[in-house]
Amino acid sequence: MVYGAENFSSVNYLELESKLKDIHSKQGVLGKFWNNVKEFTTFGKSEKDCEKMLEKYKSGYISFEEAVGYIEDFEKKQENTVDLLTNIATGIGAIAYVTATAGTGPIGWTTALLGAPVGALIKSGANLLDRATNEVQRDALDVKEIAHDVVSGAVTGMTSAVSSGIFKGRASGQINFATSVKNGIKCGLSCGAISGSSSYLTDVVLDEDKEFNTADLLNSTASNALISGAVGGVIGGAACNNVIHSGIFSKVNRNNLAQAFGEDSFLSSSRKVLSNKVKNVTENLKTNFA
């Protein structure tokens, strides 16, 4: 729809321009990385797309409301992706540390407590680096942001460790590709769901300007779970592959792949749900992270 020249307001244009500059200044190394990926692949909203929206508004092709909505949506998706990347790094780091510490023994809540300080350190460190590389003065030492990262990182680190089952079977000397992938997916799903929900709830508690929204909570939980589940499956398969090629185990029973997935009631239920919702989930991810 073409609105015409009368739709343009220099005051509103300056407001849009200022808002986009403010978003750009807040982008650290992680935010810039994701924006560059989108500009290179043309997948999702990027900063260049927002600049084009400014020109469309200036030419009268879109309204002020459409332009500001587009830019705010870009900002939200950038924030969601940075949080997702740090959650994944936190979960992986905590799992690696606790697994190495526990050896072949079981990982219960007591052992998983070791993942709390590791998770807090990784998430606060990652976000500290992101803020330190943006253009906002003294943003890196924001006490509120550091407190949020420490709390959500500790929760993510501990829950990731206790739900980890990637190396299940090491004690008995029996490990196979199917079990490793299955356990990796299970771990990723549960870790992602918990990290997504805990991160969102921590934001609501520590940020007085953020109001609780059930839809946002569910979205954060589901999106983190799905992506972390995929990452967990890859890690599980890679871990098994490394163990096999190191000579510790000489044989991998890949014939048990279908059986291993079929016997797991949790994954069976998940597959049924995902098979019915796969299109919605895909669109949801594109909507919230692209």
Q: Does position 172 have pLDDT exceeding 70, yes or no?
A: no
Mean pLDDT of 26-30: 92
Tell me the average pLDDT across 198-225. 80
255 pLDDT more than 60: no
User: By mean pLDDT, which of 18-22, 133-137, 169-173, 254-258 is the weakest?
Assistant: 254-258
**Average pLDDT score over residue span 192-215:** 78
pLDDT > 70 in the chain, percent: 67
pLDDT at residue 218, rounded to an integer: 87
Q: What is the pLDDT of residues 226-252, one digit of tens each?
A: 777 776 676 666 655 554 444 443 344
pTM: 0.67
pLDDT value at 20 more than 70: yes
Which residues are CB-neighbours of 112 under 8 A, at least 6 positions away? 98, 158, 159, 161, 162
Report the C-alpha gap between 40 and 219 in whole angstroms: 26
**pLDDT reported for residue 271:** 41
Instruction: Assess whether pLDDT exceeds 50 at residue 169.
Output: no
Domain that holds residue 189: 5-289
Encoded tokens for 99 = 């697994």
Determine contact, residues 192/229, Cβ cutoff 8 Å. yes
Query: In the predicted model, is pLDDT for residue 262 greater than 50?
Result: no
So what's the pLDDT on residue 290? 67
Task: Please indicate whether residue 191 or residue 214 has the higher confidence score (pLDDT).
Answer: 214
Q: Give the pLDDT confidence score for residue 109 in this predicted structure.
A: 64
pLDDT tens per residue, range 97-138: 887 776 655 566 677 788 889 989 999 999 999 999 998 888
Q: How many domains does the chain have?
A: 1
Q: Name the pLDDT band for 19 (thresholds 50, 70, 90).
A: very high
Q: How far apart are CA 118 and CA 107, in angstroms?
A: 15
The confidence band for 163, taking pLDDT boundaries of 50, 70 and 90, is low
> Mean per-residue pLDDT for 147-155?
86
pLDDT reported for residue 116: 87
What is the DSSP track for 151-203? Answer: HHHHHHHHHHHHT--TTTTTTTT---HHHHHHHHHHHHHHHHHHHHHHHHHHH
CB 108 within 8 A of CB 132: no
Check residues 140 and 276 and name the one with the higher pLDDT.
140
The per-residue pLDDT for 18 is 94
- Written as six digits, the tokens of 255 are 């014939």
Query: Which of residues 201 and 244 earns the better pLDDT score?
Result: 201
